[in-house]
């Protein structure tokens, strides 16, 4: 459960399963990441049916505290964040662990 799977690991796995070169798979994954990034930066939602959806949300501004000077309020501005909502199949597979 503590294992980290990197992009490199995915490239090796996919290349082996699909009988493609690692470079071909790497280029495809890089292009996929760029397309997702571009779509999200334009405010679009990216949906992979049964896997999940990436969408851009906004965290509202809030007041924070400086731990070294708690009497001073710090305004934390609103910012855009990427959120991921898992799909049905992903939820079921993770729940079965």
Domains and CATH numbers, the chain: 1-42 (no CATH), 45-97 (4.10.520.10)
For the stretch 74-86, pLDDT in tens is 899 999 999 999 9
**pTM (two decimals):** 0.80
Report the first-to-last Cα separation within the chain, whole angstroms.
9
How many whole angstroms separate alpha carbon 44 and alpha carbon 19? 33
Q: Percent helix, strand and coil across the chain, each rounded to 5? A: 40, 35, 25
How many whole angstroms separate alpha carbon 27 and alpha carbon 42? 23
Strand 62-66 relative to strand 69-76, pairing = antiparallel
For the stretch 24-62, pLDDT in tens is 999 999 999 999 999 999 999 999 999 999 999 999 999
């Amino acid at each position: 459960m503590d294992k980290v799977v990197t992009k490199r690991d995915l490239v090796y796995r996919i290349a082996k399963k699909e009988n493609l070169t690692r470079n071909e798979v790497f280029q495809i994954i890089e292009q996929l990441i760029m397309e997702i990034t571009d779509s999200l930066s334009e405010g679009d939602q990216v949906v992979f049916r049964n896997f999940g959806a990436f969408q851009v949300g906004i965290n509202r501004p809030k007041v924070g505290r400086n731990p070294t000077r708690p009497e001073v309020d710090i305004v934390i501005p609103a910012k855009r964040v990427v959120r991921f909502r898992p799909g049905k199949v992903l939820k079921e597979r993770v729940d079965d662990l």
